[in-house]
Structure 1
Amino acid sequence: MNKSLNVQKNLIIFGIPLSIIGIMVLITKLPAFNANPSSLSTGITFDLLLTVPLIYFLLIRKTNIPKTTVVPLLIIGVIICSLILPAENQYYLNLFKTWVLPIVELSILSFVIFNVRKALKKYKEKKTETIDFFTTLKSTCYEILPKVAVIPVVTEIAVFYYGFIHWGKVKLRDNEFTYHKDSGTVTLLIAIIFIVAIETVTIHILLAKWDITAAWILTFLSIYSGIQIFGFIKSMFKRPISIENNKLFLRYGIMNETTIDLSDIDCVEISSKDIELNNETRKLSFLGELESHNVVIRLKKENTLIGLYGIKRKYKNLVLYVDKKNEFKKQIKNHLQPCITAITADSTTSESTKNC
């Protein structure tokens, strides 16, 4: 019964705005629109950019749907207006794009940052676990943004935060471990930035002789890629691996991460031998076989590795590089010891678990 009511409620919430959008699109196909395009274009613009978002907001006002979902609807309205209205009748649409849309975007960004700061403050007050900006940002955005928009927004904010805002040195605690100092990854990524920079200048000069607009578009994309790589590099310095609250938090900057319950660990091996990567065995590093490893973690059951833009991959064995590999294994063993003691009180523990 409740499920049926929820379906009906969602049909009303999403059906009414979509119906209005459909009607607006239909109007532009009628002969009456061709007879009077100027005034009808103005009406359609105001309906799609003001009426539809307002009606949607009133419909979701007393529901659990985030109020910020009005923004994607607003952007959809802008896109539809741009597609269905004649270019000469987009005066009010262009005004909206120039003056209103940037304010809306900045407001959403400010709202997200405000909530992240508030969440970080709560973490500091509790002091129950390590404060991690990226994790806090994700949990905050899931509360205030549509799920589809969370990962792209979080990734872009995190790139600029780690790349250009967070310059302070991270003081490692006893339960935290770095993975970038001796692996050579940072050097490789910096080399890639320099290669991209050199090639961008060369290609820009050659492409400008053919099409200056295309040259600048390619240059912008290259600069943006360089900024992202720089943000990735900096995030590796700021997001160490940690062991806390009976969990192992494995992070590779903002590129890859996974959380493992310590009780799910079957064995931790110190090994630099080549290992075949497949659907069961994966590397924590997004560079795969280009980066060396010195630790292999084998689990009792499958877990999930989360990559850039929320891409998820299953694994049972995880290969990674840890700067202080022996200390890392020792701490995992120490944290597992109480669990092993509790298990042996009831039954015999397997040999593989004892060796961890």
Structure 2
Amino acid sequence: MKKAITINRNVVNLLAPLSLFGLLIVLMKSPLLNQGGNLGLAISIDLLITVPLVYYLLIRKSSIPNTTVVPMMVVGLLIGTYFLPVEDQVYLELFKTWTLPVIEVLILILVVVKVRKAIKTFKDQRGNAPDFYSTLKNTCHQLLPKQLAWPFATEVAVIYYGFINWKGRELQENEFSYHKRSGTPALFGALIFIIAMETFALHLLLERWNVVVAWILSGLSIYTAIQFLGFAKSLSKRPISITQHSLILRYGILSETEIPFPDIDTIELSRKPLEKDKLNHKLSPLGELESHNVIIHLNSDNELRGLYGSRKKFRKIGLHIDQPKDFKEKLEYALPQRTDDHAF
């Protein structure tokens, strides 16, 4: 019942501003707009301020992030750009040129401040190094719409791990690396080198035809290389860990899952290929390009989260661990504690 009430309220929160936008569209298409006066200014204010304000008043005590007011402003801006006559779009252009960039910068600053505060709180509570990506995702889910939170966190993490966080990370007693004896970092390095060479050659070729297209494609290629760099660097920053009640599997920022101890059936040290089944997956999204040496069998379905928030179910998962025997021993030692309250 509570869930149904929440859904109904969310529908109302969305329908109310959409209805107001609909009324404004009707007004913009009516002959009244051709009579001059300040009607264009009034409609611009309604599109950019009044409707978003009504939406904010509706959601301020709900679970919907307050920052979703900004997308509502953007919707109003797009509607005005499409339906208002060009001569009445002066105030829309001013908003687009001066106000919207300021709002975007303020939101970015808010995210950074929230992330720093969350990391500080995490350090105080846990007494060790926090996982930046997890903290970032939690913060973004509080500030941004659900559909934008994970992609935004991924893009920020790529820059953070690729260019900011170069400090080495010491493993805790319950943490395990998976990149030192794997060929994945070398594979990413080779891909970055290939992209750099092809970008240079392709840019010279395309520049003879169209300079703008050449720079656009080069920019996309450079950004792809930056992403691969961030992916590669994140492998050493996000180790696999055994907590008090669960096993946390991570593969940089490319994939992750948390498996409660009661869901774990057996841990197998094996390099044999996984059977072809929709519930059998590898932790690494590289698939057959990276071998595994550990297979974890579950007694119930679990969820593997991938890049930009993609999801897939699994009941058997293969992964590479640099010290597989040590990992198996410690995990098996921890598993009996799922039935008692002893600390790990």
TM-score, structure 1 length as denominator? 0.87
Name the aligned partner's letter for residue 117 of structure 1.
Answer: R
Aligned counterparts of 1:6 and 1:309: Cα–Cα separation in 2 = 26
Instruction: Between 8-17 and 318-327, report the one with greater CA deviation.
Output: 8-17
Aligned counterparts of 2:275 and 2:11: Cα–Cα separation in 1 = 49
Aligned counterparts of 1:74 and 1:178: Cα–Cα separation in 2 = 45
Alignment of 1:2-17 (within 5 A): 9-10=9-10, 12-17=12-17
* Equivalent residue, structure 2, for 1:53: 52
Q: CA deviation at 1:41?
A: 4.2
Name the aligned partner's letter for residue 67 of structure 1.
Answer: N
Name the aligned partner's letter for residue 247 of structure 1.
Answer: S
Q: Does residue 244 of structure 1 match 2:247?
A: no
* Equivalent residue, structure 1, for 2:272: 273
Deviations 1:139-193 (A, max 9, x none): 2222232222211121112111212221211111111111111211111111111
Q: Does residue 132 of structure 1 match 2:131?
A: yes
Any idea what SS the aligned residue of 1:121 has? helix
Q: Is the 8 A contact 2:52 2:73 kept in 1?
A: yes
* Equivalent residue, structure 2, for 1:99: 98
TM-score, structure 2 length as denominator? 0.90
Instruction: Between 113-122 and 187-196, report the one with greater CA deviation.
Output: 113-122
Q: Does residue 18 of structure 1 match 2:43?
A: no
Aligned counterparts of 1:306 and 1:146: Cα–Cα separation in 2 = 18
Any idea what SS the aligned residue of 1:266 has? strand
* Equivalent residue, structure 2, for 1:167: 166
Aligned counterparts of 2:336 and 2:11: Cα–Cα separation in 1 = 53
Aligned counterparts of 2:337 and 2:15: Cα–Cα separation in 1 = 55
User: Structure 1 residues 88, 224: closer, same or farther in 2, change over 3 A?
Assistant: farther
Aligned counterparts of 1:79 and 1:96: Cα–Cα separation in 2 = 12
Q: CA deviation at 1:14?
A: 2.7
Name the aligned partner's letter for residue 207 of structure 1.
Answer: L
* Equivalent residue, structure 2, for 1:198: 197
Aligned counterparts of 1:340 and 1:154: Cα–Cα separation in 2 = 35
User: Structure 1 residues 130, 270: closer, same or farther in 2, change over 3 A?
Assistant: farther
Instruction: Between 216-225 and 201-210, report the one with greater CA deviation.
Output: 201-210
User: Structure 1 residues 116, 191: closer, same or farther in 2, change over 3 A?
Assistant: same
Aligned counterparts of 1:215 and 1:82: Cα–Cα separation in 2 = 30
Deviations 1:94-128 (A, max 9, x none): 32222211211121121122222222222222227
Name the aligned partner's letter for residue 157 of structure 2.
Answer: A
Q: Is the 8 A contact 2:195 2:221 kept in 1?
A: yes
Q: CA deviation at 1:68?
A: 1.4
Q: CA deviation at 1:284?
A: 0.4
User: Structure 1 residues 284, 12: closer, same or farther in 2, change over 3 A?
Assistant: closer
Name the aligned partner's letter for residue 15 of structure 1.
Answer: L
Any idea what SS the aligned residue of 1:318 has? strand
Q: Is the 8 A contact 2:245 2:338 kept in 1?
A: no
Q: Is the 8 A contact 1:294 1:320 kept in 2?
A: yes
Name the aligned partner's letter for residue 163 of structure 1.
Answer: G
User: Structure 1 residues 230, 6: closer, same or farther in 2, change over 3 A?
Assistant: closer
Q: CA deviation at 1:220?
A: 1.8
Any idea what SS the aligned residue of 2:124 has? helix
Structure 2 gaps of 5+ residues are none
Any idea what SS the aligned residue of 1:242 has? strand
* Equivalent residue, structure 2, for 1:345: none
Aligned counterparts of 1:218 and 1:129: Cα–Cα separation in 2 = 42
User: Structure 1 residues 190, 42: closer, same or farther in 2, change over 3 A?
Assistant: farther
Q: Is the 8 A contact 1:119 1:140 kept in 2?
A: yes
Q: Does residue 329 of structure 1 match 2:334?
A: no
Deviations 1:70-110 (A, max 9, x none): 11211222232333345555333232222211211121121
Structure 1 gaps of 5+ residues are 343-356
Aligned counterparts of 1:284 and 1:14: Cα–Cα separation in 2 = 38
Deviations 1:168-225 (A, max 9, x none): 1111111111111121111111111121222222222333333333222222221221
Aligned counterparts of 2:282 and 2:2: Cα–Cα separation in 1 = 44
Number of residue equivalences: 341
* Equivalent residue, structure 2, for 1:30: 30
Alignment of 1:1-356 (within 5 A): 9-10=9-10, 12-33=12-33, 35=34, 40-87=39-86, 89-127=88-126, 131-339=130-338
Aligned counterparts of 2:78 and 2:145: Cα–Cα separation in 1 = 18
Identity within the alignment, %: 47
Aligned counterparts of 1:289 and 1:207: Cα–Cα separation in 2 = 35
Deviations 1:261-301 (A, max 9, x none): 12322111111223334312101001111111111111111
Name the aligned partner's letter for residue 29 of structure 1.
Answer: K
Aligned counterparts of 1:233 and 1:331: Cα–Cα separation in 2 = 27
Q: CA deviation at 1:38?
A: 9.2
Q: Is the 8 A contact 1:37 1:89 kept in 2?
A: no
User: Structure 1 residues 185, 38: closer, same or farther in 2, change over 3 A?
Assistant: farther
Name the aligned partner's letter for residue 27 of structure 1.
Answer: L
Q: CA deviation at 1:8?
A: 6.3
Instruction: Between 285-294 and 49-58, report the one with greater CA deviation.
Output: 49-58
Aligned counterparts of 1:336 and 1:240: Cα–Cα separation in 2 = 19
